[in-house]
Amino acid sequence: MSILVQFAIGLIFGLGLVIAGMSDPAKVLNFLDLAAIPTGGWDPSLAFVMAGAIAVTFIGFRLVLQRHQPIFGGKFHLPTATDIDARIIAGPAIFGVGWGLAGFCPGPAFTALTTGGGAALMFVTAMMVGMAGARWLAGRPVQPMPQ
């Protein structure tokens, strides 16, 4: 049952991305092109999508965390680490650079695969290779620095 609920949630998320136009990399790139503000070519619609997502998440977390346990799980898995390290800085930076260069982030990229676009296929393939590489690097033992 849990996997069906997760699948339905993923479909709703993907449908929201398609309706909002976020599966179109040109729309994302037009939002990120701040130099186009004076010419009227800047597209602020992504800011409204993000604001809507933040509002839904804020309300959702407030409601969900009032529960003693999740509906489809034994316990909540909330982060406990509060320190900021190189991984916390590098991960979002790489994500942002990739998003800015390609116009895709993971959710819309998977959604764009349904339209058969070559750019989406190339992005998702590169993303999967990058994720596998990151997992491989994270699993390697740390080598001490030579003295």
The full DSSP string for 107-140 is HHHHHHGGGT-HHHHHHHHHHHHHHHHHHHHHHS
Instruction: Give me the pLDDT at residue 145, please.
Output: 57
Judged by phi (left if over 0) then psi (alpha if -120 to 50, else beta), residue 113 lies in alpha
Give the per-residue pLDDT at 99: 82
Residue 25 forms part of a structural domain = yes
Count up the domains in the chain and report the number. 1
Does 104 reside within a domain?
A: yes
Could you tell me if residue 91 is inside a domain? yes
Supply the pLDDT for residue 143: 65
Instruction: Name the residue with tokens 């909540």.
Output: 76
Long-range contacts of 68-71 (CB under 8 A, 24+ apart): none
Is there a domain that residue 146 lies in? no
Give the pLDDT score at 119.
85
Residues of the chain with confidence (pLDDT) below 50: none
Confidence at residue 59, expressed as pLDDT on a 0 to 100 scale: 96
Residue 55 lies in a domain: yes
Determine, yes or no, domain membership for 145: no
For the segment 108-144, what is each residue's pLDDT rounded down to a tens digit?
A: 888 888 876 788 899 899 989 988 988 888 887 766 6
pLDDT of residue 146: 64
- Domain that residue 116 falls in: 2-139
pLDDT of residue 129: 93
- Establish if 10 belongs to a structural domain: yes
Tokens of 81: 């680490």
